[in-house]
Structure 1
């Protein structure tokens, strides 16, 4: 006999059906809401500050409307709730939709803010679309808020009203509030440039870019991870390659697969924006049925939950078809693998960050510079010391960018050809003005024959002031000299 919910969800959109199935797997009660209570809310976060300010402004335009406005963190914890309607406030208190309570799908089943966080997409859940019967008197519109500096999920904006109320404008209002919150966060976060949104690129990894014959000899930390991945793929196992952003996960997976099946095509599918998931899936999933193609799905930890579930189904079908497994996954760490995809993974291989592989910095620098310059590039001893001393927080991706800029300027790379970021040991973000000041100090100090006294005079500041600012920015004068 079919579960009663099967009949209900058949008429739902795919995202809602997937959410109901997840709610059932979580074991969420159907007849009552029992969310986890935190007892503590971080009221000092940038999200709380900016989100509350934006919602207060919106509330003034909705003064006579029975609408509750909320801000949550990325885990579904309600941080703040604004509502002038007494009956609405009392009703929401009865279902614990209040500050201090978690309202993620795993806590409250399908609901607006839980769905928005799971899928990282704007979501509207009306009346009977809620999983729990206690919530079917409401309509909820929620939109995720992304951190404008890192691109990570910061939380959500949620607007809730009675189910009999018109919901046509509810989602639009929530989208505007989420956008304004992210914009205000950016404006108050040292004026840094926002990270681009994901575009869901799908591209071929060409052999000449990862040919083992063109790569330098790297450290045992890299070669061991490569050997583990190669052995797992040769055995027909599904591999998840994990590590920090920019550490070279996709490159390692491609190298490993080519070592096993050198004639195969290798495609890399990067996570898309939430609104583009359907198109993204349609673009590359037919490749899973081809014997001569391997797909590397990068950043699966950034996928909406429903997209991860769809991928799990497609991957399971491809695996059941026999032969070598035609895909590899990458993520920042094993714990971040989506619940739907994690059971498919047979082996997890970690790529160490570049700061843990200092012996790889110079070989990779030479490799990247030669690839861009078209011929060998040499480094002065001062430039080599600077490259080796830097922590490379963005890993090989950052080194690749730095070498592209340096190699474009000279066949012999010296400190003046390197960006100021390489000489900075400061552990916090700099404002735009601070970054400009740091860059000018580095430019002056790196000029041949320039002493600290000369640089101070050119910069129009005293020597003591220059030393203080060098310490502030973590600059080492000896690294800047040949």
Structure 2
């Protein structure tokens, strides 16, 4: 009987049922070569306790610690790799036991290091996880019950770490996971507040939509610059050679657009599906919804943001592709190293899409293309608007340009600098408070009006000219020459 079957039978005899996630985690643990009878995680000797996540997480856990005073519960914070950043516990016996199993700051407890455990499973599947007693892969952890919840950056959506609550395995775990979820939610909310008013990133929904081939009415993309064309040529060559392609780059840089253009060039008769990453809790339904399309010879699939997939879903998707020799699959991710291992093994070629700030020649043709789509007719941009857009850093890449252009063309068919969002007219790199943002926007709007000098802006704003000059420097507002 295989190891996994033995462990499942053990759990069932104990009155529990091994869930598919737990079973998949055991298989991964075995493939990593984690020993069954010893906990031997890697030790780094140093942790990053200065990050925003660490600061906010520890503040939340300190408050929860006061609530749980007298309870045998250890509260921990880990980074995205499972490295324990901090640990709080008032029961000496539990602290001593945790020390003996190295569940302490400076030690890494990912699945690769320690096998199936609460925090490792939460990080691997990006979903709340509760691992009790002998559900742990390593017998050295059977004395504990661990509840862990991943924490995502509320603005950028990337995994930053986890909150982990650990108690004795013979204690009640009824509220443990709920408390961990509450702490993770409060940590994310506090990070957003400390981020000084940034907008939270929407939760992935796992939508599937179709991009039709060129002869069925797909819109022709604009002519872009050398960097884009080089990336496009590389993807087209790989697709023609029958290779699996991964396109990587920053959020909003145009990874899916690049793949869609390349697929329409190579497979003109194909229907193209783009499967966005799901909420981890919806991964099973997400897979069931669109993966049958992989078996169809005239369908190409773009699996977007695979670095956000739970490990078990990535493994399942890799198995589906391997079992369908004619499957046409391409993937996108933030970087090559972030592609889950089961899918990374299938990838033949990795192509990077440079961010928009490294492609200034693409800004105007993209803006004209996006403006025409939003307005329904041709739009133009004045030299002042073009200069402002070309010199802006576009941290949100093409998605940010799309938003700025869509807003601007509602005001005019000829877009001037004064029609652009104030953020484009400023060069401040720090995040502003809500009041600072309002002040910056109002100054930028005044200065963007035709013929308005600093002196005139000061009069309009009710400020002294010296104050306006100081604010221009403070916010990095670019004035016309």
Q: TM-score, normalised by structure 2?
A: 0.95
CA-CA distance at 1:210 after TM superposition = 11
The answer (yes or no) to whether the contact 1:299–1:330 under 8 Å persists in 2 is yes
- Alpha-carbon distance in structure 1 between the residues aligned to 2:307 and 2:264: 25
CA-CA distance at 1:149 after TM superposition = 2.1
Q: Which residue of 2 aligns with 1:75?
A: 81
Residues 45-444 of structure 1 mapped to structure 2, 5 A cutoff: 45-207=51-213, 214-319=220-325, 322=326, 325-444=327-446
- Alpha-carbon distance in structure 2 between the residues aligned to 1:412 and 1:29: 67
- Alpha-carbon distance in structure 2 between the residues aligned to 1:99 and 1:405: 48
Residues 29-44 of structure 1 mapped to structure 2, 5 A cutoff: 29-44=35-50
Change (3 A) 1:128 1:210: farther
Higher mean C-alpha displacement, 427-436 vs 359-368: 427-436
Change (3 A) 1:178 1:28: same
- Alpha-carbon distance in structure 1 between the residues aligned to 2:102 and 2:74: 13
- Alpha-carbon distance in structure 1 between the residues aligned to 2:216 and 2:247: 16
The answer (yes or no) to whether the contact 1:71–1:158 under 8 Å persists in 2 is yes
Q: Which residue of 2 aligns with 1:476?
A: 478
The answer (yes or no) to whether the contact 2:4–2:27 under 8 Å persists in 1 is no
Higher mean C-alpha displacement, 109-118 vs 21-30: 21-30
Which deviations, in whole Å up to 9, do the C-alpha atoms of 1:143-194 show, x marking residues without a partner?
1111222221121111111111121221111111111121222222212222
The answer (yes or no) to whether the contact 2:208–2:290 under 8 Å persists in 1 is yes
Q: Which residue of 2 aligns with 1:6?
A: 5
User: Secondary structure in 2 aligned to 1:34?
Assistant: coil
CA-CA distance at 1:273 after TM superposition = 1.0
Q: Which residue of 1 aligns with 2:13?
A: none
CA-CA distance at 1:5 after TM superposition = 3.9
CA-CA distance at 1:361 after TM superposition = 0.9
User: Secondary structure in 2 aligned to 1:117?
Assistant: helix
The answer (yes or no) to whether the contact 2:4–2:23 under 8 Å persists in 1 is no
The answer (yes or no) to whether the contact 2:212–2:218 under 8 Å persists in 1 is no
The answer (yes or no) to whether the contact 1:210–1:255 under 8 Å persists in 2 is no
Q: Which residue of 1 aligns with 2:26?
A: 20
Change (3 A) 1:103 1:370: same
CA-CA distance at 1:6 after TM superposition = 3.3
CA-CA distance at 1:294 after TM superposition = 1.0
Change (3 A) 1:459 1:182: same
- Alpha-carbon distance in structure 1 between the residues aligned to 2:429 and 2:285: 40
The answer (yes or no) to whether the contact 1:300–1:308 under 8 Å persists in 2 is yes
Which deviations, in whole Å up to 9, do the C-alpha atoms of 1:434-457 show, x marking residues without a partner?
111111011101112211110011
CA-CA distance at 1:209 after TM superposition = 12
User: Secondary structure in 2 aligned to 1:477?
Assistant: coil
CA-CA distance at 1:206 after TM superposition = 3.7
CA-CA distance at 1:386 after TM superposition = 0.9
Q: TM-score, normalised by structure 1?
A: 0.95
Q: Which runs of 5+ in 1 are unaligned?
A: none
Which deviations, in whole Å up to 9, do the C-alpha atoms of 1:47-105 show, x marking residues without a partner?
22222222222222322321111111111111211111111111111001111111111
Which deviations, in whole Å up to 9, do the C-alpha atoms of 1:290-331 show, x marking residues without a partner?
112111011111111111111111111123xx3xx4211011
